[in-house]
Amino acid sequence: MTVHPSPAAADRDDQPPDEGVAAPVTASAGRYARPPAELFAAIVTSIRSVLFADEEKVRLAVACFVAGGHLLVEDYPGLGKTTLAKALARAFGLGFHRVQFTADLLPADITGAMVLDLERREPVFRPGPVFTNVLMADELNRASPRAQSALLEAMEERQVTVDGRTFDLPRPFMVVATQNPYDAAGTSPLPHGQRDRFLLRLTLGYPTRAEEEALVEGEDPSARAAVLEPAVNSEELKGLMGAVAHVHVSPAARTYLLDLVQATRTHHSVSVGASPRAALALVRAARAMTVANGRTYVTPGDIQSVAVPVLGHRLLLHPGTEVVGAGPESIVDDLLQLVPVVGGEETTDTGAGTKRP
């Protein structure tokens, strides 16, 4: 049986560490001329040149990628979700595929399938669009549960299994999934297990009046995103991801982080709290924001800056809780006010201007 992997999957020598694995930074990976915080800022600036969105939302999206995670963007149509996915891939200089999820989409349309090669008279594997660096799963919640589940193995293990054979995906690999709100026609909520695989969940929201005026005056953002020049090269990207993996998390910071996670499990409005995978996600996202802020150690402020987008979509509330106005994000925000910082130390500025006692 012959396997024809995608060109991106064939070259595995310069891949960054896998999700959740803190591999050491090699000498070649560390030879970038700019410090990690400057690289991070350059990527954010590049994306914001074509996407009219809040800077902190873009910072979180970039942090999600350099932390080796997947991004869920939930918002109404026309607010820049597709442009964000394209700009992320272009700013990092990586491959990009887009899949429009529909009710009749099949798993093989995503992962690929074994097909008969008439010339060789043998089955060969034809890779699907998942064999790329950045996969945009557009309107993920419009597909059937069967099609949605085709991404589970890819997101968790960076591989797909077809007809009993396993094929590695290119590295790095990131899913940027978009979805419409649940009350939109023809949508189905994602299973909790799949939502838990997304490192961050964001909503872009509407632009300001000034941003929207600049939007209508200029060139189409989607067209500009398609020709956006990379903000970093492969060595710089490898070094940036390596820097994130080696950020120090002190025992006090770990204690505070675990207190937050534990608090989601004991809150009276929450039926299913944050999982151990959520705790790992919170560590990774906080490390990425630490690098963005130019430090090598995590502070409580770094944890607080990512707590809502990391934990909010992972919580399941008791029936009727949201009807009275308490959503998952507001519960996490309340916990940030209630859970004390270990030792009573002040949090530091995270770069977003937010400080909590």
Cα distance between residue 53 and residue 50, in whole Å? 9
9 in Cβ contact with 168 (< 8 Å): yes
47-96 pLDDT, tens digit each? 998 888 889 999 999 999 999 999 999 888 888 898 999 999 999 999 99
pLDDT of residue 323: 56
**How distant, in Å, are the alpha carbons of 15, 72, 100, 210 from that of 140?**
27, 9, 8, 31
Domain 247-357: CATH superfamily is Magnesium chelatase subunit I, C-Terminal domain (1.10.8.80)
Containing H/E element for 160? strand 159-162
Q: What is the DSSP string of 307-338?
A: HHHHHGGG-EEPTTTGGGT--HHHHHHHHHHH
pLDDT digits (tens, 9 = 90+) for 133-161: 999 999 998 888 889 989 999 999 999 99
Strand, helix or coil for residue 119 = coil
Instruction: End-to-end CA distance of the chain: give it in Å, rounded.
Output: 62
Q: Using the predicted structure, report yes or no on whether residue 245 has a pLDDT greater than 50.
A: yes
Residue 345 has pLDDT above 50, yes or no: no
**How far apart are the C-alpha atoms of 137 and 96, rounded to whole Å?**
11
The pTM assigned to this predicted structure is 0.82
182 in Cβ contact with 141 (< 8 Å): yes
- What number of other Cβ atoms are within 10 A of residue 218's Cβ? 11
Please spell the DSSP secondary structure of 248-307, one letter per residue: B--HHHHHHHHHHHHHHHH-TTEEE---HHHHHHHHHHHHHHHHHTT-SB--HHHHHHHH
Three-state DSSP at 166 gives strand
Contact criterion met (CB below 8 Å) for 311 and 282 = yes
Q: pLDDT-derived band of residue 244, with 50, 70 and 90 as boundaries? A: very high
User: With 50 as the cut, is the pLDDT of residue 354 above it?
Assistant: no
Q: What is the model's pLDDT at position 30?
A: 44
Mean pLDDT of 331-351: 71
What is the CB-side half-sphere exposure of residue 7 using CA atoms within 13 A?
3
Question: CA 44, 47, 50, 54 torsion: positive or negative?
Answer: negative
> Do 32-245 and 247-357 have matching folds?
no
Is the distance from CB of 111 to CB of 128 less than 8 angstroms? Answer: yes
Q: In terms of pLDDT, which residue wins out, 327 or 336?
A: 336
The pLDDT assigned to 64 comes to 96
Most confident of 93-107, 170-184, 210-224: 93-107
Enumerate the domain spans of the chain: 32-245, 247-357
Query: Of the given ranges (40-44, 217-221, 240-244, 291-295), which has the lowest mean pLDDT?
Result: 217-221
Position of tokens 């994602």? 190
- Phi, psi of 218, deg, nearest 5: -95, -170
How does DSSP classify residue 14? T
Closest listed residue to residue 347, CA positions, set 262, 265, 256, 284:
256
For position 196, what pLDDT does the model report?
92
Lowest mean pLDDT of 91-95, 185-189, 335-339, 349-353, name the range.
349-353
The answer on pLDDT for 214 being more than 90 is no
Please report the pLDDT score of residue 209 as a whole number: 87
Question: Which region among 51-65, 184-198, 236-250 has the lowest average model confidence (pLDDT)?
Answer: 184-198
Indicate if the pLDDT at residue 117 is higher than 90.
Answer: no
Residue 6 has pLDDT above 60, yes or no: no
pLDDT at 71: 97
| Percent of the chain clearing pLDDT 90 (strictly above) | 54
Asked if 227 contacts 220 with a C-beta cutoff of 8 angstroms, the reply is no
Is the domain covering 32-245 a CATH 3.30.479.30 domain?
no
pLDDT at 356 over 70: no
pLDDT (0 to 100) of residue 42 = 95
pLDDT for 183 equals: 61
Q: What is the mean pLDDT of the chain?
A: 83
Judged against a pLDDT cut of 90, whether residue 43 lies above it is answered with yes
Q: Which residues are 161's β-sheet partners?
A: 166
Distant-in-sequence contacts of 1-4, Cβ < 8 A, 24+ apart: 1/114, 1/122, 1/123, 1/124, 1/125, 1/165, 2/117, 2/120, 2/122, 2/124, 2/125, 3/124, 3/125, 3/165, 3/167, 4/124, 4/125, 4/126, 4/127
Q: Say if CB 248 and CB 108 are below 8 A apart.
A: no
Residue 86: name the closest of 76, 77, 97, 78 by CA.
97
Banded model confidence at residue 15, pLDDT cuts 50, 70, 90: very low
